[in-house]
Structure 1
Amino acid sequence: MRLVTSNKFPDTYNPLIQQLAQLCCVLFFLLFMGKGAFAASRPDLMVRLASETDAAYLGEGIYEGTASVQSRSQPAYPGLAAQFRVQVKNAGDQPDRFLLTGPGSGAAVTVGYLDAGGVDRTADLSGGGYLSASLALGESLSLLVRVSPVSFTPGASHRVAVTAVSIGDPLAVDQVKTETVACVETAAVIVSAPPDGTGSPGTVVNYPYTVTNVGNGDNAFSLSVTMGSGWRGELFADDGAGGGIAGDGVRQAGEINGSAGTGSLAPGASYRFFLAVTVPETGSDGARGESTVAASGTGASGTDQVNTTLLSAVVLLSEGVRNLTRGGIFAASADAVPGDLLQYRMAVTNGGSAPATSVSIDSPIPPGLVVAPDSLLLSLAPTGEGAPCAAAQCGQARIGEGGVIAQLGEGATSAAGGILAPGRTIYLYFKAQVQ
């Protein structure tokens, strides 16, 4: 038997065809892998304003050799530079170092670069470049870019571009740009607005205030307060005198130094003080005093109005009587003949907005009546029936020399009245027979 083979292709070997096939396989593999196959080195520059959080960074995942999208703007004022934060992140797939470059100062603008530790890197960036430490995958570092126009021509724009180049691959480049617009000096101030308060007659209500210079230049502000008729207001420094903590917004006993002004405040700086309002000794419950606090400086002023409400107790006494023998309801008076049994009711109510203290009753018994023994009753119910109120809650009562004596309210004793909360009513009952 003879084995016969057949081959359609020629027996000759062509190395060029094999190389082309291998090249096609490589190209197919790179195409299949996509951009990741070329991302061995990749700097990712981002930019935000220095006053913003990291969440505001612009440019993550965007790679521009000449920044157009990755650009942020901020105004600058005399004495107040524009400040930006630039971050470079290793977006490649292996550890890498990056060379950061940027323009230096010139005739029109002063530019400075500080690293995260506060070290001045200006000479490096504007010279041969600032070389970062080796950054692991996803690791980043940041620089503070400070730009201040030398001459302030309103509207003049100054652009500063920062570029990052991969040491692993010099063709891997990214760039961000900052734009600083020169503006003239602006004066502005903010006066805080504490909530309205309340106080009892003769008490002092303290309001913590903060004055903030939100202009772009130093400024000093005078302070004043205008009060409504019959009310008194004074300004005191929140200086921590007498063992307190300065600027904590809580007035201590030793903080008694008057405050007429803030002194010079740099842009963004604040001054804290108190408005102390003395509530009038006499006044009706619910009376209101208006206080206007003003801060006035060069080219800027601000005000705030706060209202203080007087809270006082208003104790009301109402009396009623009913004829138990004949039946009837409590009224201002009741028809009766000798032998009838009457029940008297005294209602003591705090109709004010503040707790009433030392509440007591000393009321004579009408002539011609004999009080029934053990008929005294303190209650929270208006019906004259039911269980008595506990002494700790309502107080205590007794029959004295020709009258009813009661010490009412929470915490009352046999010698002194207690506290009656706003809106609370205590009823005192006793029975008497007509002679």
Structure 2
Amino acid sequence: MGNEACAACRPDLMVRLASETDAAYLGEGIYESTAVVQTRSQPAYPGLPAQFRVLLKNAGDQPDRFLLTGPGSGSAVTVSYLDGTGADQSAALSGAGYLTAALAPGESLVLLVRVSPIAFTLGASYRVAVTALSIGDPLAVDQAKTETVACVQTPAVTISAPSDGSGAPGTLVSYPYTVTNVGNGDNAFALSVTMGSGWRGELFADDGAGGGIAGDGIRQPGETNACLGTGSLAPGSSYRFFLAVTVPDTGADGARGESLLAASGNGASGTDQVNTTAVAPVVVLSEGVRNLTRGGIFAAGADAVPGDLLQYRMAVTNGGSVPATAVTIDSPIPAGLSVAPDSLLLSLASTGEGAPCAAAECGLARIAEGSVVAQLGTGATASTGGALPPGKTIYLFFKAQVQ
């Protein structure tokens, strides 16, 4: 009767990498006194040990306790075993064994097995086997094995590459950056930026200062803490910051500044170049006149005698990259001319004929104290000029008779 009861005792060991999910456990329902199938391998690097999860399950049909044993540390490798609470059970496992509490059928516990090679002989392999022995039945045993391969450290870093940007003269353009340690050991990276002549670039931490969210890639007004480096980054860890480029006050439309960002660490470095373009309105006024009495086309000048009727044309064009604002004209009327006030015309056509352009789009014009005065563009009022989009031309015409 006793032997039949003992036959129901069964430890079931499973193993996976610590970085994997529980779905990756290997060895469920496999019972090996010397692990062959239920073995997992992982590389280890200086400062980065191999880590495994070993799960012990009571696969029997009655409560049972189990004795766990495993090899200890040696001159070439350090082995540690941490239970589910984080307590170190290394001395027990490598000694007389670690006796678990009673586990109900189907109940389980987990050990973290950490293997750290001391002498990094390239390709050296260290095998750590954990054995579980049933207290209810000393013949019921299972084993899971880990294999750690020593590898050399490989430093590497990546730098994100934000898109090029633009800004008006005197403004600040911010670029979010991320530096990631993609090597297999801890590393710290110094940060620097090299700018073109006349341009200024500064580095600020994406730390959420002033009420922002740290690491969100959106610079807040309070994020003004300068940064010169990432600090120590574990493998896979990142550091986020901003490159803030000031567009020169004298930057002409289309002027470009190149910024070279560099991250330099132990054995690894990287760069990224981002370009900032100055964008500004470029308002150009060109004038022409034609003799309506004698006929002719608009030109820089026109022959005329007293009594001739002339038509003047002023073309206002925004040749820049951004809208011009507060666009106005205040041009004295040439001496010897009598202007017909009702001849004022704002138009989008260069011919000087046809229906006038609506005030909401082109603005307003008048004769005032011997001058032609106009507030031009969208949103213009009787006292304030409006906006003129890039590439748009508004024409102002008026007729005058030569005295």
TM range (shorter): 0.7 to 0.9
* Shift of residue 288, structure 1, vs aligned partner: 1.3
Deviations 1:31-66 (A, max 9, x none): xxxxxxxxxx9x896745x445678x4869996957
Deviations 1:243-275 (A, max 9, x none): 444444333334333333334444444443332
Match of 1:211 among 163, 166, 179: 179
Match of 2:51 among 76, 83, 86: 83
Match of 2:355 among 386, 392, 399: 386
Tell me how many residue pairs correspond in the alignment: 388
Alpha-carbon spacing, 1:116–1:390, altered in 2? closer, same or farther (3 Å) = farther
Which position in structure 1 is the counterpart of 2:281?
313
Q: Which runs of 5+ in 2 are unaligned?
A: 1-9
Q: Does 1:295 align with 2:295?
A: no
Worse overlay, 249-258 or 288-297: 249-258
Match of 1:228 among 196, 201, 217: 196
Worse overlay, 100-109 or 396-405: 100-109
Which position in structure 2 is the counterpart of 1:403?
371
* Shift of residue 279, structure 1, vs aligned partner: 1.4
Q: Assess if the C-alpha contact under 8 Å between 1:350 and 1:424 holds in 2.
A: yes
Report % sequence identity. 71
- 1:375 & 1:141 partners in 2: Cα distance? 95
How does the TM-score come out when normalised to structure 2?
0.74
Alpha-carbon spacing, 1:60–1:181, altered in 2? closer, same or farther (3 Å) = closer
Match of 1:281 among 249, 252, 263: 249
* Shift of residue 405, structure 1, vs aligned partner: 0.9
**What are the within-5 Å matches in structure 2 for residues 34-433 of structure 1?**
47=16, 50-51=18-19, 57=24, 72-84=40-52, 103-107=70-74, 108-111=76-79, 127=97, 145-160=113-128, 178-324=146-292, 329-334=297-302, 339-383=307-351, 384-391=353-360, 393-433=361-401
- 1:292 & 1:427 partners in 2: Cα distance? 45
- 1:68 & 1:227 partners in 2: Cα distance? 60
Q: Assess if the C-alpha contact under 8 Å between 1:103 and 1:111 holds in 2.
A: no
Query: In structure 1, what residue type is equivalent to 2:331?
Result: S
Q: Which runs of 5+ in 1 are unaligned?
A: 1-40
Partner-residue secondary structure (3-state), 1:374: helix
- 2:343 & 2:57 partners in 1: Cα distance? 89
Q: Assess if the C-alpha contact under 8 Å between 1:104 and 1:112 holds in 2.
A: no
Q: Assess if the C-alpha contact under 8 Å between 2:69 and 2:98 holds in 1.
A: no
Worse overlay, 329-338 or 297-306: 329-338
Q: Assess if the C-alpha contact under 8 Å between 2:48 and 2:185 holds in 1.
A: yes
Q: Assess if the C-alpha contact under 8 Å between 1:193 and 1:304 holds in 2.
A: yes
- 2:51 & 2:140 partners in 1: Cα distance? 27
Worse overlay, 262-271 or 371-380: 262-271
Query: In structure 1, what residue type is equivalent to 2:380?
Result: A
Q: Assess if the C-alpha contact under 8 Å between 1:226 and 1:292 holds in 2.
A: yes
Q: Assess if the C-alpha contact under 8 Å between 2:207 and 2:214 holds in 1.
A: yes
Which protein shows a greater Rg? 1
Aligned-CA RMSD value: 4.5
- 1:283 & 1:203 partners in 2: Cα distance? 10
